């Protein structure tokens, strides 16, 4: 049973560029979450998928951010026209279950640095 996998581990880009991150959840986990973590803070919720449906978005998720989960498997998070304030660790988590509150299992994250 492999864990949650995120790629790339690190991304350095210039301000204004677009970036895309990928998350492969634990197989058969129907719930998938994206969080953002800045230095010295706890992770903050961005968005949630149940299977392929994006059911909830945080107000932190500006219109420059878009996430997809085609076919209910892997997910991508794209940030367009990156800004300095986007520099953070982007974490993906997955869990199993429709109604229960099962623990979320996290990947290693993608660290984004904006030059």
Partner 1 sequence: AQKVTQAQTEISVVEKEDVTLDCVYETRDTTYYLFWYKQPPSGELVFLIRRNSFDEQNEISGRYSWNFQKSTSSFNFTITASQVVDSAVYFCALSDPNQTGANNLFFGTGTRLTVIP
Residues lying near partner 1 in the complex (CB under 8 A) = 31, 33, 35, 40-45, 48, 55-56, 58, 89, 91, 93, 95, 101, 103-109, 111
Minimum distance, C-beta of residue 91 to partner 1, in the bound complex (Å): 7
Q: Which is nearer to partner 1, 3 or 16 (CB)?
A: 3
110-114 and 10-13 beta bridge pairing:
parallel
Q: Which is nearer to partner 1, 17 or 113 (CB)?
A: 113
Q: Which is nearer to partner 1, 7 or 58 (CB)?
A: 58
- Alpha carbons within 13 A on the beta-carbon side of 10: 2
CA distance 27 to 49: 14
Minimum distance, C-beta of residue 83 to partner 1, in the bound complex (Å): 23
Minimum distance, C-beta of residue 52 to partner 1, in the bound complex (Å): 15
Q: Which is nearer to partner 1, 82 or 95 (CB)?
A: 95
CA distance 103 to 84: 32
> Which residues share a beta bridge with 35?
45, 91
Cα distances from 90 to residues 1, 35, 38, 68, 107, in angstroms, run: 23, 6, 9, 15, 9
């Amino acid at each position: 049973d492999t864990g949650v996998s995120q790629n790339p581990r690190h991304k350095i880009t210039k301000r204004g560029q677009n970036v895309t991150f990928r998350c492969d959840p634990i197989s058969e986990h129907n719930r998938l979450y994206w969080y953002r973590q800045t230095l010295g803070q706890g992770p903050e919720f961005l968005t949630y998928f149940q299977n392929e449906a994006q059911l909830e978005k945080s107000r932190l998720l500006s219109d420059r951010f878009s996430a997809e989960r085609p076919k209910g498997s892997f997910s991508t998070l794209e940030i367009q026209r990156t800004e300095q304030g986007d520099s953070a660790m982007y974490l993906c988590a997955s869990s199993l279950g429709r109604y229960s509150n099962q623990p979320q299992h996290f990947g290693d994250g993608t660290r984004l640095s904006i030059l």
